[in-house]
Amino acid sequence: DRNGWPRTRLVVGSLQHFADPDCIHELVVVVPPLDEQAILSESEAGFALTPRPSFPVRVVNDSLILGGRERGTYRSMMPHAELQENGGRGVDYRLSMILKLGVAQHVTTQFYVTLDRDVFLKRRIGLGELISGGKDVVQGS
């Protein structure tokens, strides 16, 4: 979504504002190849936030997670019935799920949280609300 950059800025801003500093070791932003340079530039400019994000941001090209395959190759893996019934609109959803699981190979911590670019924090959150006794506390949407 080429118009997703402003939303990316809002997500990063909400993390900066509401997440306790010890909550975020690193923000990994997964992007399609066409958006990589633009998001990398946004990241290097601190997403135009004041103050700049207090956590490091790393931009990862989604082809590294998808095993070098083009996003379009996943369309051929869609169930035939779905392609016939709705034109394969579920491809993007399935890719999103693959990316959320696959990004684990690029994460350097024991736990990670995934957020879509349209999900924002709206209240203060600390590490204790996410992890307790070495286990995740929050699951789901």
Q: Tell me the pLDDT tens digit for each residue of 59-80.
A: 999 999 988 777 777 777 777 7
| pLDDT value at residue 116 | 85
| pLDDT value at residue 88 | 62
User: Rounded distance, CA 131 to CA 23, Å?
Assistant: 10
Please identify which residue in the block is written with the tokens 């169930």.
79
| pLDDT value at residue 140 | 52
User: Rounded distance, CA 119 to CA 122, Å?
Assistant: 9
Report pTM: 0.83
| pLDDT value at residue 141 | 46
Using DSSP's 3-state secondary structure scheme, residue 54 falls into coil
Span 134-140, average pLDDT: 72
Residue 52 carries which DSSP code? P
User: Rounded distance, CA 117 to CA 37, Å?
Assistant: 17
